[in-house]
Structure formats: C-alpha cells, structure tokens
Structure 1
Amino acid sequence: MGTTVTSQPTRRAVIALGAALVVTPVVTVSAQAAGSPVRPVAGLRAAFTAASKRYGVPRDVLVALSYTVTRINDHAGQPSAAGGYGVMHLASNHTTNTLATAARLSGHSAAALRTDVAANVDGAAALLRSLADAAGLGAADRADVDAWYEPVARYSAFSDASVARLEADAVYQALARGLSLHAGGETFTVDARTVRPQLGAFADVPTVAQRFETMTEDYPPARWVAANSGNYRVANRPNDYAIDRVVIHTVQGSYAGCISWFQNPSANVSAHYVIRSSDGEVTQMVRNKDVAWHVGNTNNRSIGIEHEGWVDDASWYTEAMYRSSATLTRHVCDRYGIPLDRTHIIAHSEAPGATHTDPGPHWDWTRYMDYVRGDGGDPSWSVIVDNGGAFTASGNWATASAPGQYGSNHRHAQPVLSSDPAWFSADIPAAGSYRVEVWYPQDPANNSRTPYIVAASGGNQTVYVDQRANGGRWVLIGTFSLAAGNRQVVGVSRWTSTAGSIEADAVRISSTT
C-alpha cells in the first residue's frame, strides 16, 4: 500500500513570504541546544541517535535529510561542488557558511565538521535545532516529524525559497517512502509513514513546479529555472558557434543544491540542464543558444547536462535518470545534427584539458548510448491513442486533414480563455513512471504555446508545446507518475492567450521500464 504526502499550515502563525526570500541560517540557539562538544560516538548510526537525543531533532529527520543531500556518504571528506562537507553536507563557500554556523552552535571545530562523521552529524543537528527554535517550535512540536518542514527547508540556506522547498519536499518524500540502505558498513532504516508537513513560513512559497510551470522552448519536458546571468555568456548559437558536443557531468551534490548553486552569482559555473536521480525530472538553466560555463575550452561548442549525485556512488545513476538523460541527449543531437557516437557525446573527464573525473567509473556508457541510439529495448507497455479512438472533445473541436498528421485526420480548435480540453484516455496497467509523447501535424499557423494537461498521480500537470515546430513526429512532453486504471490521461486545452490553431491528433504513453 502506498504512502501519502500532503501538506497543511502550521499551528503557529503563518508568515507570508515571497518567492525571492533569502533564507539564511539562524545563529541564535537555546542553552539546551548549545553545549560542550559531543562525546566520541562509535559508528554513524550511533551518531544519529546521539545527535537526535542531544538536540531534540527526530532521528528520522536527520537520516532522511542526510539521505537526500549525500545518500549518507561523506565521500572521504571531499567537498561537493558547492563546498558541502560530510554526510550532512555542511557548506562553506563564498555566500553560504552553514559549516561555520554549525561549528559555533555545536562547539566542534570546522576541521572536525569536515572530516569526523559524528561531529558532522552533531553539528547539523545543532543547526537544525537553532532553526527550529527560530521557527518557534516548542517541545511538543519538536517531537512531531511533520513540524520540522521549515527548519529543513532553511537548512541549506538556499537563496531561492522555491528551491529550498524542493529540498525539503525531497526529505519528506523520503520519510513517506521509508528508507533502508547500507552506508559506511551499517544499515539505516526509516519506516514509511503518512506525512503531513507543516509548511510554516513556506506555506505561501510556491513549489518549483508551481512557480516554473512553463516548460522551455529548447526542450518541452524541461522546466525553466534561470541560472544567474553572471554564470554564463549570452550568445546566438549555432549562428556564432556550431554545437557539436554533448558533455555528461555529475553534480557532486543534490538536484536542489545544483540548481541553487547555478543561481548563486559567486559560482561562476553553470550547465544547460540538470537531471534528478529519483524520477529523471529535467530543469533547464541556460538556453541552448547561450554558452554555459561547464567544460573549459569546449564551452562554446557544447551542451552541458548535469546529473544529480556523486561519482563514487553508483546508486544515484537510476534507470529513470539514464532514460531521461538519453532522451534529452537524443533531442539535442537530432536538433543540431550531432552524430550519436562517443566522439561527440563525451564525459566531462574526456574534454580537452579536463581536470574532473565525472561522470566517473559507475556511469554505464554502454547502457546510456544504447538508450540514446534507441537500442535500449522496447518498453514493457506502450499505447497509442488517436483522435478517432479513446478520445472525447466538445463540438468546438473540428475534424480536418493536413500533411504530417497521425492517421486519417486530426482535431483542431481556436484558443479561448477557458479550458474546453480534448481528452485522450488510456488503461494504465500499473502505477508507475510513464513517458508521454504527442503528435500533431506540421503547420506554421499552429499555436506556439499549446497547453497539454497530464493527469498525473499527484495532480494535473501542464506542459506548453510550440506546435509550429517538430510536427509530423513524436514529441516527448515528459515523464510522469501515473496511477493505474482506465481514465482520461492526456488533454489538449484551448486555454492560451497565444494565437494559432490548437491541434489534438495523437498521444503515445509508454512505461519507462
């Protein structure tokens, strides 16, 4: 039986905050939370238990947070790309210093927090307790896992509140799913539960999905979250520079952490795309036409794709990530005429003059290139729904024929400021992850911002597609979590202020395994 993630306002007063909120660590702490350095702890599991007891932070919150940011891996004391250390990713960079704050609160030295796992966990717990005190959590609140959402969201001190929510949501998803994994020679478990996080000061902050609902023109399945303008160079590729390389990177950090780092004006780095490990979600941060700073003297000619995770931990490289990344790479290669080979699709470590090792030895190049070329095997289930099949629409949708349509005809309608969707239905065999592709005829008079609605298991998601381009072929609009059952799955809405005919022709839904 699945678990449920819902949200509710906190019992305390909700403070309305804008999406541009700057979240900084709170350095004040109660006398009970401060104190002398922690006694030596034998083993990482014991460190979580001791830190939980010392600061009144639920042990499961500490473990789920560590899992989200590092997979409970200290990476031999090496920092992440954003300067994060240890299993709790305490950061020290030009704009964020949660490591120094944790040192001040816990009594540990910065050096100990970087290299000693018990100290690192203890310092993180001290920081979380400080943030909980600032949020007004009393003793009863602190015993409730759901009350810790606001401190967790503030933990990494991200400058963008929506991105802070992205990390906190991942922590609560881990709490909802439950965990069981081996790390450092020990087994860590968190029992699955129904969570109802109390959002506190983040109740009025939109999620990344809500705030960045519009997908990108370069790659419709991707969300657009702009990198800081000081972290890339505006260009007009391929007119000024030919694009003939795709470079595969590993973040050395988390998905939310990478997005936040590229938003940081002091980073001086960026990539065009970032891909999440758990489900293959794609965020674009630099337009294809512009030059991202990701690979030195190959920047001008390449598209950079970052993948959540660390090079020394194969668990980050999931099937969903491989397939999502391969689909993106194939899209880029088709668009710019890049050959589908390892001369043109390269690792960061293979670029001329590279000093990095990513994506590292755990990246399965054979598997990845099979997926890029389309040799990765057929999905276990796939269905095509034409507009003459399991399809419903009002009388406002006319039937017509045009070059490049799927089948013998298609439906079309004019935009209005009401939804009036045409729906494609399908019998989804099992709950899981599914690719959704759409087909429409080629016509420059089509609408440039056609809304497609996907009835995902977590609620309807809208993807906007420029139907003036890529007609007469399957166009991927994303990978979605779908519930089992026979119902309306993909809709084409008329609700757009952009002029041009809206086409409803065919959809293809395929399992990702």
Structure 2
Amino acid sequence: MSHPVPRAAALTAAVALFTGLAAAPAHADTATQRQRDFAAAATEFGVPQNILLGVSYLESRWDTNAGTPSTSAGYGPMHLTDLREAGVAGTHHDEGTEDARGDDARPATHPQAGPAAPPPTLQTVDEAARLLRTDAKTLRTDPAQNIRGGAALLAKYNTGNNWYDAVARYSGSTDQAAARTFADEVFDTVKTGITRTTDDGQQVTLSPTPDLVVPQHPDPNPAGVECPRRVTCESVPAPYQELPKDDYGNHDLADRPNSQKIDHIVIHDTEGYWANVLDLVQDPTYVSWHYSIRSADGLIAQHVPTKDVAWHAGNWYVNAKSIGIEHEGFAAKGTWYTEAMYRSSAKLVGYLSRKYGIPLDRAHIIGHDNVPGTTPATIPGMHWDPGPYWDWSHYFDLLGAPLGGFGLPGSSLVTIDPDFAKNQPAFTNCDGPGTTCVPRGSEAVVLHSEPSESSPLLVDIGLHPKGTASTMAVDDVGSRAATGQRYAVAEVRGDWTAIWYLGQKGWFHNPRNARVAKPAIGWVVTPKPGLATVPVYGRAYPEPEAYPAGVTVQAITPLPYTLAAGQKYSSGGTVGSEYYWATTFDPANHVVVKGKLKYVQIQFGHRIAFVKADDVRIVPAF
C-alpha cells in the first residue's frame, strides 16, 4: 500500500528546491534552440527551468523521437500523451506460434487475450491544448510548443507552491508512491545535472544544483516483494492454480538458486498497455513472467517469486534458468521507451544481478529476441521483442556496465556498439506489411553477404527454411547484430568488417571515423581439430543416461545450423546440462535432472546458442 507525502515534508522539499534553484547558474548565450525553448517556456509559465528540464529528461531525454509516440502514447520532449493518435494494440503473447513455456514434455500454451480499455491518463495533450489554446497535432509535432504545453501543465499542477508535488503529479501515476519515485528521479537529475546531444542534434544542458535536498521516504514496498530501494514496487501475484484435465498454470514452483542457478535475465516488451498486461498475468490459464514495469513512471509489479519458474521466453531451458521482465511498450510501432522506465528497469536488473551473481553483459542480460528456438520447427515462431529500438547502450550505462571499448585495436573480437541516434536502419512493416518505418535511432546493425550496401542480406535457414535471404522487415532478425553482442572478426576490407554469424560472414560498414563495433576482449570457441562441423543447439539438455526412472528423456535436437572448422564465435561461458521435469501440479514430483554433459554458450547469430564442450576448443581472442 502506498502512502501520501506528509505535507510538512512536501513543503520542506519545496523550500529546499527553491534554495537550489537560486544557486543554479544561467545558461550561456551559446545555448541551442532547444535550450532556448526550455528557457522561454520556463519564464512564460513561471516554472523553474531546471525542474522543466529535469521532468523532460525523465520522460524523453529531451529527444523528439522523430514525432513517434512513446510506449505509453507520449509525444515530444515533454511526453504529452495522446492515445487517440498512438492507437491501441493487443499483446505480443497472442501473436505468432511461440509456446511461452517451451517444454516438449507438456502441451504448447497458446492462450488468447482480448483488448482492454486504455487508461484515461494517456490523454494529457488535450489539457495542454486547452491551456495553450492550440490543437493536439501542434503539440505532438512542434517541439517548442510541446515544451510550452508541458510547462503549462506543471504550472497548473503547482498548487501550494510545491514543485515536488507538481512533478509527482506530472508522472500521471495514480499510485502516490510511484509518483514520488518519479519525482525523486527528477530531483536527483536536477541535483547532479547532465548534458547531452539529442536525437535531432540539439545540445541541451541541465546545470547541476548540488545543494538541492532530495526528499527521503521510507521504503514503500510491501513485505515479500523482491525489489531494490529507491524504486516503487507492488505485488500483483500470478496464480499457481490447478486446472481441468490435469493441467495447471501459469508458472512452476521451484527452489532457485538452490535447485538451479539463474543464468539470465530476459528483457521483454508487453505489446500492450499496463492494465491489460496485469489482467493477463493474473489469469491462471495464461502465461507468466516475473516482473512488469510501467512506462509513465517506472512502477514495478512483481508477479512470480524469482525462486519460481515463469513461462515467458519460449524455451524451457532458458525459462528454468532465467528471470523475465516485461516492459510496457511496443517493439515495432516506431515507439520509444521512457527514461523513467529505463531507470527503474536498470535498478531492478542491477539488484537481481547482485543477488544471483548474474554477469552484467549481453551474454546474460538478453532480449527475448536473443532467446534461441528449441528445435528447427520452433525457430520461425520465436518472438523478437524488445525490438531494434530498445537502447541497449544507454541501458548498460545506467547499469554501470558500459559496453565496448575494452579491447586493443585490431582485436579478433568486437562488441557491436553503434551511435544509437545516428544509426537508423531502413526497417519496414512497423505499421503493417509493406509500410516503411519512420527513420529513427536503433541498436541494430544490419549485416550483408558482401562488403557493399547493395549486396543481399544473410540467409537464416531457421527463419527462412527455403533458403531465401533475410529482409529489412522489423521483425526479421536473421541478418541483424544487436548492440552489446560480441562476435569474432572473420575479415576486414577497408571500412568494412565481417563477423562470423550463423556459419557465414556477415559484413557491416565500420569506418574509422564512425565505428559501429569496438575492439573487445574475451574467449571464442572453434571446432576441435579433425571436426569439419559441430552441431548447434537451442538448449543445454543432459545425456539420456542422466534421467532417472519415471522422467521422460528429452531429445538433444540440433538446430539447422552448424559451426564449421575455421569459424569462431564469442563464448558466453561453460554451463552444465540440466532439465527441469515439472509436469504435475504437486511440486514434490518435480525433478532437476543434471547430466555430465557440458555445453558452451555462444553468440551464434542474433540469438544465443549452445555447443557441446567436447566438440570445441575455447581460446582467447587476440
């Protein structure tokens, strides 16, 4: 349960805030247009400029995002929301053929969910338009007017000369604790200051206010919720419930990490709005995940204890050894993720990585799009969220584990790390088949079959069984390297670099003055001498002899790819073979099967994969 901010504390915060504002230096005359727009709007509506800048940063990082809506229907630097324009979508759990559970020992799960009514908080553009006597389209498309609209709303929300409460209300959250968390993040940003270049090339500076007092609150989180301090979490339990026909849902009880080590955290997006997502995870006939994070204010809801196994990744081996986190948002519709959500997510992932010893790298903090198919038949239906517009580089900066730049020049291993704002692949199908996506920043680097932009993309025989080349469709990950992933260099020709990818050379433009890949250090795997090829797998299952009586042996099925002699792939570490037998409602009958067989996780294509340790050599990259 959340509690309101005590009035005395709020007033004290307001006094401290104004003290800090008085000390804030004026911006130089060299400020760019965006900077001047903030200054003008702050003066016009009587809003402290650093508060206006701080709120905008927590919403959009001062970006325009090419006029596209955020994952919670917000537009422009001030994130004015307009659900009418952004539209309503369902949930990605209803799309494709992926079985979220991904366990061959149980029937596939393909539940369907109906649309939900969107929340009224996603329509602030109308109120701003009334205050400015303009129209919603102007506020969505004109950055200067968008900033004026946000300033007008803040001024209206400032009752009792209390800017802290005004900022909290601006979050749009109906949960007071979550609104306070948003305001705390704004105040922290105002206190420390920040400078960055926006996605449209504007230089904006929020000068630090080091003597600003950020209000302190008791931990608002209910007992039993696994969350870090300084974020707001709530408990929205997913039901473990017996169903007809010897079925049950929507997750499995376990005893991790005592029973199985947790190796991965899987980042998802919901493809639906908050209320609908929470309804789904509370349906015993549906699927599950451990946490959801709200876009507008970063509120975290926990659904499944981390000791238990949720059904979220479409691969039972990965499910049994991972924690799944859903983010309110959309992978394809040209949408962007708010800074408030990025920050809450990074705090949660940092907390979980420390708790379970999960490395903060892209071999272990993965997207749903990096989870491998279990067999050749399941590859085409695997999901591909959070999509190419999730900013992995910024996310890892927030985690305190920045990507790239740690290897020596000429290293045979590279980390993909393009400039997110400048890297704008020409994707299609964001708004339906045949449509062209709005050009905007992306974490994805597109690979070609030759060192030329006009050459075909690579062939992913798993995604395209007929052997046709991959496409620029936003959901086609068959010829796409993701930020933070590490690959072995196959060849360099001038400004072009080739990496080993799905058994092929994947070429990308990597000019010296605008690198999209940086030298890395680490280990790579290659077939042992005498082996022309080795099989590649989507899960690390035990040898048949490891299964006790009464537990069905799971097939070790290779994927339709091979790792050939002379090729190298980045190692994500050696793992033991495991299978979690959980087919009954009573967890007393569940068994963790552990074999003698060892595997090595590799970065094989866009998705991770596994090879048997006995088949490969692990050598340092030079």
Could you state the TM-score of these two structures normalised by the residue count of structure 2?
0.38
Could you state the TM-score of these two structures normalised by the residue count of structure 1?
0.45
